[in-house]
């Protein structure tokens, strides 16, 4: 899970990235505001924009196939915009 903090523009990029929108995203904790690590670049497959809370795929093969480019050097992809999160406490049997 991450928060989109901006767009990225690349004057030169791998040919497999042509036509792909790049976003700067900040991974966050479940509270949706505490940063979790450094901000990263991700290919946008969900038409997300600044301020959106998004679902981020952070593993190479899954990321590449999520955008239909299985042989591309892609490590991170935004695959969805999160509308709402409901946290439910599950009782543990005593």
Q: Domain holding 73: CATH number?
A: 2.40.50.220
Question: How far is residue 50's CA from residue 26's CA, in Å, rounded to a whole number?
Answer: 11
Residue 20 has a pLDDT of 79
The token pair that represents 61 in the structure block: 């093969």
Task: Output the pTM of the full model.
Answer: 0.81
Q: Does residue 86 sit within a domain?
A: no
Tally of domains within the chain = 1
Question: Range of 69's domain?
Answer: 2-81
Band (pLDDT 50/70/90 cuts) for residue 9 is confident
Query: What average pLDDT does range 80-90 have in this prediction?
Result: 89
Check pLDDT > 80 for residue 55: yes
Q: Is residue 88 part of a domain?
A: no
Asked whether residue 49 is assigned to any structural domain, the reply reads: yes
């Amino acid at each position: 899970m991450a928060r989109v903090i901006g767009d990225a523009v690349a004057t030169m990029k791998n040919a497999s990235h042509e036509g792909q929108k790049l976003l700067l995203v900040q991974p966050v904790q479940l509270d949706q505001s505490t940063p979790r690590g450094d901000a990263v670049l991700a290919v946008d497959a969900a038409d997300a924009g600044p301020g959106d809370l998004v679902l981020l795929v952070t593993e190479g093969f899954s990321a590449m196939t999520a955008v239909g480019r299985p042989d591309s050097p892609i490590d991170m992809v935004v695959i969805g915009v999160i509308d709402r999160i409901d946290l439910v406490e599950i009782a543990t049997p005593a």
